[in-house]
């Protein structure tokens, strides 16, 4: 087994991780992500705001219909006033009218509240447009520098990956396959030595079972650690 080759391959993986980290933490990327996050958050806030505005307009429509209905009812009552022929009936009409006017007043109040909410939302909407614009400009301003850092790092990464591809040809496919399996699930580094003295995985320090340790002591022994899922090899 070409463990040496696999370890060199792992070293190149480490370089790739470092390049990724360098990109992630570069000033250009941090700035870009900061503006992008603010931009996305503001868009989400805008969606919520637009939902709230929509609800207010549905309310206005409902209240306006109720208002019109009451006005029509009041009209009907006035038409009936001519036909009142006793005091008792007059009293009844007056009470009904008062009720209708009081309903009308409460609808007016509700409409006024909606109007106030909309005025507030209008101010929020103005702030929204100014923020979205500022964050978008921020993203736009940071993009070229971030793209520059990205392409520099990507070209270095491409070289490393080309070296890995060449190296892979010299390693047994079975070993490469096991390494890649460990890399998917375990913390870096996925390939670690077996500590013969303590019969343990040098990735996590777990003392391996007698069965696994015995297999590792055989020629070309290569086992997965049941604790950290790393691939353990005998030095």
Q: Which window, 37-45, 61-69, 163-171, 201-209, contacts Zn ion (CB under 5 A)? A: 201-209
Selected binder of Zn ion within 179, 183, 189, 203 (CB under 5 A): 203
Using DSSP, state whether 201 is helix, strand or coil: strand
Give DSSP secondary structure letters for 13-60: HHHHHHHHHHHHHSHHHHHHHHHHHHHHHHHHHHHHHHHHHHHHHHHH
Report the nearest approach of Zn ion to the CB of residue 178 (Å). Answer: 14
Give the nearer residue to Zn ion in terms of CB position, either 142 or 208.
Answer: 208
Report the nearest approach of Zn ion to the CB of residue 177 (Å). Answer: 19
- The size of the interface with Zn ion (CB under 5 A), counted in residues, is 7
Is 186 an interacting residue with respect to Zn ion (CB under 5 A)?
Answer: no
Selected binder of Zn ion within 201, 213, 216, 222 (CB under 5 A): 201
- Determine the Cα–Cα distance for residues 54 and 63; give it in Å rounded to an integer: 14
Report the nearest approach of Zn ion to the CB of residue 209 (Å). Answer: 12
Is 225 an interacting residue with respect to Zn ion (CB under 5 A)?
Answer: yes
- Determine the Cα–Cα distance for residues 166 and 68; give it in Å rounded to an integer: 81
Element (H, E) at 92: helix 87-168
Is 204 an interacting residue with respect to Zn ion (CB under 5 A)?
Answer: yes
- First-to-final CA distance of the chain: 11
Give the residues lining the site for Zn ion (CB under 5 A). Answer: 201, 203-204, 206, 225, 227-228
């Amino acid at each position: 087994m070409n463990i040496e080759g696999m370890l060199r391959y792992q070293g190149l993986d480490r370089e790739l991780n470092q390049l990724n980290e360098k990109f992630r933490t570069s000033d250009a990327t941090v700035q870009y992500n900061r503006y992008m996050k603010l931009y996305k958050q503001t868009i989400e806030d805008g969606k919520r705001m637009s939902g709230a505005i929509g609800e207010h307009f549905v309310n206005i429509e409902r209240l306006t219909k109720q208002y019109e209905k009451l006005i029509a009812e009041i009209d009907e009552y006035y038409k009936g006033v001519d036909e009142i022929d006793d005091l008792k009936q007059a009293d009844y009409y007056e009470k009904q009218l008062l009720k209708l006017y009081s309903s009308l007043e409460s609808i007016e109040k509700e409409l006024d509240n909606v109007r106030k909410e909309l005025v507030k939302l209008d101010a929020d909407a103005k702030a929204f447009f100014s923020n979205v614009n500022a964050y978008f400009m921020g993203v736009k301003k940071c993009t070229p520098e971030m793209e520059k850092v990205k392409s520099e790092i990507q070209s270095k990464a491409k070289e490393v990956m080309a070296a890995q591809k060449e190296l892979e040809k010299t390693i047994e496919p079975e070993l490469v396959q096991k390494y890649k399996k460990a890399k998917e699930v375990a913390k870096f580094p996925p390939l670690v030595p077996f500590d013969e003295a303590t019969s343990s995985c040098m990735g996590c320090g777990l003392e391996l079972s007698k069965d696994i340790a015995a297999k590792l002591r055989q020629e070309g022994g290569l086992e997965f650690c049941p604790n950290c899922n790393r691939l353990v090899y005998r030095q």
